[in-house]
């Protein structure tokens, strides 16, 4: 040992926990204790030298001189970095060993008077050289067994045994007491021999570990492997904390739910497969979210959950009558289905399509049917749908992928046999993203929907027990292959007596309940309801009627609030209607009191119900040209052309000079020009208006007509007869001419609609002339010709 010098000036002490620092090394230390920080700062203001010594017990927070070893190293501060948490990161170069002569404890930190020394190398150089080579050999072996690159020893100078021993002592993974044992060596030979012993022991331990690992690996079977993996997993779990534990427990709960749940075998297999995949995927991976969402979806679908249908026909009839007035055809069809279920024990539901104008109760009928059958009710609106994926779902690989409306509805219902309402099926669109109507064909086909496959679910789902009801305003917008899979049920509009009953017995109780006015009673007399229906609403349904009744209830609520009256009963008579609703909207009928020559009344069907179609014909001097106005479609223009041609062949029957047609222009106009009009059913109305203008004879204003004509004068059938007759009823028409070929449809129309209307079926245009223009100038043969085969329907009875 070679003494360098005594350091007369005490050095600040830096106590080390669970480590020892050797000379010839550079060490980075994180300093957090207050006294140690004071020592560092004091040293940095001077010659930046301090004394590094290991404390005997690492757990001691404020070590005294008795808690510190007597041998350490003198170091020089190279760099100080102050961390955000007010700790210091210090880079220190250790220079020499030093022995403590005396510790001094001060208020802010501890100092030590030390004696610095180095190992003398003059004696036993051969022995030292041999020992250093042995150290290098064992260190290389240590690095190779530890899987540490041997390049780490490349910078060590084997010709400097003291430096070699210090660096190796600092780098090997041993406890701090053993390092302190090496640091306290009295000379280089002792240090080398101690280091060789330590290295030999460490190498031997590592070799035994490798041997044991190899032997255990060879002998390990599946159970032993699983045990070790679980032990490692437990260690990982402890390191990661509660979040990992909760995730692991959640997966176990999912697995238990799969095993205990009532799922088909193929669904269970898929779920187990996806859970295994989820275990392998890191929770931070985007794919983990996709897999987890897919598992949740499969678990939430009601694969084998079926609600029990209500199978009492009388109870079903009672529920349907409670919810709706009229609609006998719909009610009869539902009751028939219930009867069939009772007898056959098969719950496969029919696919019904309710077609009718807005406000007639198509959606509410579906809700009522669900209540009558004791089934869950689900509604999906198809209006404006353009994307096929809205029906079949998106593939789960896409970001934000979701199942289609069908699977979403089934999931919401929680059973495999809900009543599923597909609203506005006639308003489905079509674009580059596919045809939703084509996707619906599989859904609505009883021979295919038992294995409907949603792109997001990727497993067949049985829809055969679902009762599908669709709604539409018109069948024109429904593709024929799709319409062929449904049973069409027409819902025509309501008559005034029906609206009165609905307003009194159904709408008003519902409004009172929703308004929270159950303590009060508002009686709207039948006369007042009729006034509202006739003068404030003009519709096939009752939606506008409900708005007006709501308005009356709000006005009365305002009166109650302002006057603070204690009256609980309010009677609304016809005289009070204008007070609540203002000036009537529809005082004047669209039908003139007296028709002029050239005017006739047709009947039109619209998606919102029937309506009166006025036709006007004007003759004025010209060259025999014809003009058509009123926002007409191609079919209606062709119907006008056919009527003009037919009029030319019937000049004698009508009673006009044929030369008039060549000397005058004819203008055919349909009022309300902003409303598009099309279709062939106005043929006889157009022909009669032309005949009226040419014969200068006026038609009666209580006669309306509908029917398509041919160039030979035959009358062809039309559609929407019920809606057209209802419009005639609403506008006070007394007689209606219809095609003979539509006569069989009269039995399907409610008696309230045709009551008080004389319905006249015709087959030829000559019969129409005889009815509409009986005063025209014709020959006797002509009169005889048109008088044949006339018959009329009055209140549903045939008269001759």
Residue 670 is predicted with a pLDDT of 92
| pLDDT range class, residue 784, cuts 50, 70, 90 | very low
pLDDT band for position 90 (cuts 50, 70, 90): very high
Helices vs. strands in the chain: H and E counts, helices first: 29, 27
pLDDT > 70 in the chain, percent: 89
Name the band, by pLDDT with cuts 50, 70 and 90, for residue 347.
low
Active-site position among 499, 677, 724, 740? 724
pLDDT greater than 60 at residue 245: no
Query: What are 404's two structure tokens?
Result: 């289609």
C-alpha span between 106 and 95 (Å, rounded): 25
Angle (CA) 538-542-544 rounded to 5° is: 60
**Nearest Cα residue to 765 out of 718, 705, 721:** 705
Residue 112 makes CB contacts below 8 A (sequence gap 6+) with 10, 11, 13, 51, 53, 100, 101, 102, 103, 104
Alpha-carbon span 777 to 578, nearest angstrom: 50
596-622 mean pLDDT: 87
Q: Mean of the pLDDT values across residues 226-251? A: 66
What is the reported pLDDT for 151? 60
Tokens of 562: 């302002």
* The pLDDT value given to residue 785: 40
Q: What span, in angstroms and rounded, lies between the C-alpha atoms of 764 and 777? A: 19
Find tokens 């909760």 and name the residue: 246
Predicted pLDDT at 646: 92
Average pLDDT, integer, range 341-348: 68
Lowest mean pLDDT among 239-248, 570-579, 615-624, 669-678: 239-248
Q: What is the pLDDT of residues 95-124, one digit of tens each?
A: 889 999 999 988 889 999 998 888 876 667
- pLDDT: which is higher, 395 or 245: 395
Q: Report the percentage of the chain scoring pLDDT > 90.
A: 16
Decide: pTM greater than 0.75: no
Tokens of 399: 């970001």
Q: What is the pLDDT of residue 501?
A: 86
**pLDDT reported for residue 779:** 47
Range with the lowest mean pLDDT among 250-254, 497-501, 557-561?
Answer: 250-254
Instruction: Examine the pLDDT at 761 and tell me if it is beyond 90.
Output: yes
Is residue 381 annotated as a catalytic residue, yes or no? no
Which alpha helices (H) appear in 485-615, and where do they start and end?
496-502, 508-515, 526-535, 543-563, 577-581
Out of 338-352, 461-475, 592-606, 738-752, pick the least confident: 338-352
Q: In this structure, what token pair is assigned to residue 535? A: 């003068």
d(CA 114, CA 752): 121
Beta bridge pairs of residue 2:
118
Please give the distance of CA 7 from its chain centroid, rounded to a whole number: 80
Q: Is 60 exceeded by the pLDDT of residue 431?
A: yes
The residue among 374, 376, 348, 379 whose CA lies nearest residue 362 is: 379
C-alpha span between 452 and 465 (Å, rounded) = 12
pLDDT band of residue 345 (cuts 50, 70, 90) is low
The answer to whether 763 is a known catalytic residue is no
State the Cα–Cα distance between residues 560 and 332, nearest whole angstrom.
44
pLDDT in tens, 547-566: 989 988 888 888 888 877 77
Beta-sheet pairing, 626-629 with 2-6: unpaired
Rounded to an integer, the average pLDDT of 429-436 is 75
Indicate whether 392 pLDDT > 90. no
pLDDT on residue 689: 93
Question: 240: pLDDT confidence band, cut at 50, 70 and 90?
Answer: low
Given the residues 169, 681, 722, 763, select the one marked as catalytic: 681
Average pLDDT, the chain: 83
The per-residue pLDDT for range 453-481, each reduced to its tens digit, is 888 888 888 888 888 899 988 888 888 88
Asked if pLDDT for residue 360 goes beyond 80, the answer is: yes
d(CA 122, CA 134): 20
Does the pLDDT at position 1 exceed 80?
Answer: no
Contact 454, 392 (CB under 8 A): yes
């Amino acid at each position: 040992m070679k003494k360098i010098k005594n350091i007369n000036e005490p050095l600040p002490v830096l106590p080390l926990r669970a480590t020892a620092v050797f000379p010839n090394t550079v060490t980075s230390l994180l300093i957090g204790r207050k006294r140690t920080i004071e020592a560092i700062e004091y040293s940095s203001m001077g010659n930046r030298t301090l004394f590094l010594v290991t404390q005997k017990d690492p757990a001691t927070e404020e070590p005294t001189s008795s808690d510190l070893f007597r041998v350490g190293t003198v170091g020089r501060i190279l760099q100080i970095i102050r961390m955000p948490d007010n700790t210091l990161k210090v880079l220190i170069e250790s220079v020499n060993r030093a022995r403590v002569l005396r510790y001094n404890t001060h208020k802010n930190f501890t100092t030590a008077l030390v004696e610095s020394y180095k190992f003398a190398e003059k004696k036993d150089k051969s022995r030292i050289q041999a020992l250093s080579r042995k150290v290098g050999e064992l260190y290389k072996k240590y690095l190779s067994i530890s899987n540490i690159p041997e390049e780490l020893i490349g910078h060590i100078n084997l010709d400097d045994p003291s430096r070699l021993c210090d660096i190796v002592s600092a780098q090997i993974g041993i406890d701090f007491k053993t390092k302190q044992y090496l640091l306290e060596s009295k000379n280089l030979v002792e240090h080398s021999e101690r280091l060789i012993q330590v290295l030999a022991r460490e190498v031997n331990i590592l070799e035994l570990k490798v041997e044991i690992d190899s032997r255990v690996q060879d002998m390990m079977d599946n159970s032993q492997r699983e045990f070790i993996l679980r032990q490692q997993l437990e260690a990982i779990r402890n390191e990661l904390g509660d979040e990992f534990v909760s995730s692991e427990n959640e997966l176990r709960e999912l697995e238990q739910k799969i095993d205990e749940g009532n799922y088909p075998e193929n669904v269970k297999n898929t779920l187990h497969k996806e859970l295994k995949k989820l275990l392998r995927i890191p929770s931070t991976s985007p794919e983990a979210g996709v897999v987890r969402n897919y598992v949740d979806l499969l678990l939430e679908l009601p694969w084998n959950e079926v609600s029990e249908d209500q199978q009492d026909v009388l109870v079903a009839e009672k529920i349907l009558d409670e919810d709706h007035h009229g609609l006998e055809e719909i009610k009869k069809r539902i009751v028939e289905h219930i009867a069939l279920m009772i007898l056959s024990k098969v719950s496969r539901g029919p696919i019904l399509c309710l077609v009718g104008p807005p406000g007639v109760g198509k959606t509410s009928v579906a809700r009522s049917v669900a209540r009558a059958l004791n089934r869950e009710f689900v509604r999906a609106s198809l209006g404006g749908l353009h994307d096929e994926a809205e029906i079949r779902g998106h593939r789960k690989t896409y970001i934000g992928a979701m199942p289609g409306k069908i699977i979403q509805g089934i999931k919401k219902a929680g059973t495999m046999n809900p009543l599923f309402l597909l609203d506005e099926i006639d308003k489905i669109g079509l674009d580059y993203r596919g045809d939703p109507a084509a996707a619906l064909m599989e859904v609505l086909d009883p021979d295919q929907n038992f294995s409907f496959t949603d792109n997001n679910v990727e497993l067949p789902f049985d829809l055969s027990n679902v009762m599908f009801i669709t709604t539409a305003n018109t069948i024109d917008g429904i593709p024929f292959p799709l319409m062929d899979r449904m049973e069409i049920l027409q819902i025509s509009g309501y008559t005034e007596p029906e609206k009165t009953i609905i307003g009194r017995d159904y709408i008003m109780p519902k409004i009172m309940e929703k308004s929270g006015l159950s303590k009060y009673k508002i009686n709207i007399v039948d006369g007042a309801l009729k006034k509202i229906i006739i003068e404030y609403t003009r519709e096939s349904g009752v939606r506008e009627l409900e708005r007006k009744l709501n308005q009356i209830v709000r006005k009365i609520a305002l009166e109650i609030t302002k006057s603070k009256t204690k009256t609980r009963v309010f009677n609304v008579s016809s005289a009070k209607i204008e007070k609540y609703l203002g000036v009537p909207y529809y005082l004047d009928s669209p039908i003139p009191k007296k028709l002029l020559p050239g005017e006739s009344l047709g009947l039109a069907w619209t998606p919102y119900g029937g309506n009166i179609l006025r036709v006007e014909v004007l003759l004025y001097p010209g060259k025999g040209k014809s003009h058509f106005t009123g926002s007409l479609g191609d079919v209606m223009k062709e119907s006008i052309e056919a009527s003009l041609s037919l009029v030319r062949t019937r000049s004698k029957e009508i009673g006009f000079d044929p030369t008039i047609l060549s000397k005058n222009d004819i203008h055919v106009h349909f009022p309300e020009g902003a409303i598009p009009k099309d279709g062939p059913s106005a043929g006889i109305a157009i022909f009669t208006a032309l005949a009226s203008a040419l014969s200068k004879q006026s038609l009666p204003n209580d006669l309306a007509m509908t029917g398509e004509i041919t160039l030979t004068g035959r009358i062809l059938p039309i559609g929407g007869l019920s809606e057209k007759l209802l419009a005639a009823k609403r506008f006070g028409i007394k007689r209606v001419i219809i095609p003979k070929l539509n006569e069989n449809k009269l039995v399907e129309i409610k008696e309230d609609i045709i009551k008080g209307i004389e319905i006249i079926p015709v087959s030829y245009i000559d019969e129409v002339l005889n009815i509409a223009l009986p005063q025209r100038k014709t020959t006797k043969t002509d009169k005889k010709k048109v008088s044949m085969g006339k018959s009329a329907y009055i209140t549903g009875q045939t008269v001759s």
